[in-house]
């Protein structure tokens, strides 16, 4: 698992809806795609932990998990999540999960980096 930090406009006192959380996350699509690419996994799940929001630097931890690391999520969220995971990856799209005090969830996000510059390597 690789951990990155994404700057997000977020108020931990506000009760966000699922749509508001998705909008806040999607506004950083290009950076999140970059994180997924740098992690180098053929398929991955990005987990944004708004419970770990740091108000000093206004960042949220982003965990980029490989298939093995995401295995518990694959079992918990069912077939639709598993299919989305198999279809995800650099140049294809991202599977994003999020947790916050008000709402948790997951969604598929389109890839935003130039596909000519996509690379995949196997870390370690």
Alpha carbons 13 and 10: distance in angstroms, whole number = 9
Angle formed by the axes of helices 67-77 and 79-87, nearest 10°: 150
pLDDT score at 122: 44
Residue 32: count of CB within 10 angstroms of its CB: 24
At 124, the pLDDT band (50, 70, 90 cuts) reads very low
Higher pLDDT: 94 or 90? It is: 94
At 29, the pLDDT band (50, 70, 90 cuts) reads very high
Mean of all residue pLDDT scores within the chain: 88
Q: Widest CA span of the chain, in angstroms?
A: 41
Structural domain spans, the chain: 2-112
68: tokens are 């093995």
pTM, 2 dp: 0.86
């Amino acid at each position: 698992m690789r951990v990155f930090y994404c700057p997000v406009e977020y108020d931990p006192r506000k009760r966000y809806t699922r749509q508001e959380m998705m909008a806040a996350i999607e506004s950083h699509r290009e950076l999140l795609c970059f994180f997924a690419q740098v992690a180098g996994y053929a398929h991955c799940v990005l987990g944004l932990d708004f419970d770990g929001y740091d108000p000093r630097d206004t960042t949220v931890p982003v965990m980029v998990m490989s298939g093995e690391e995401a295995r518990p999520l694959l079992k918990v969220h069912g077939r639709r999540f598993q299919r989305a995971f198999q279809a995800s990856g650099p140049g294809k799209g991202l599977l994003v999960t999020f947790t916050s005090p008000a709402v948790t969830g997951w969604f598929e996000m389109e890839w935003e980096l130039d596909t000519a510059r996509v690379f995949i390597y196997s870390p370690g």
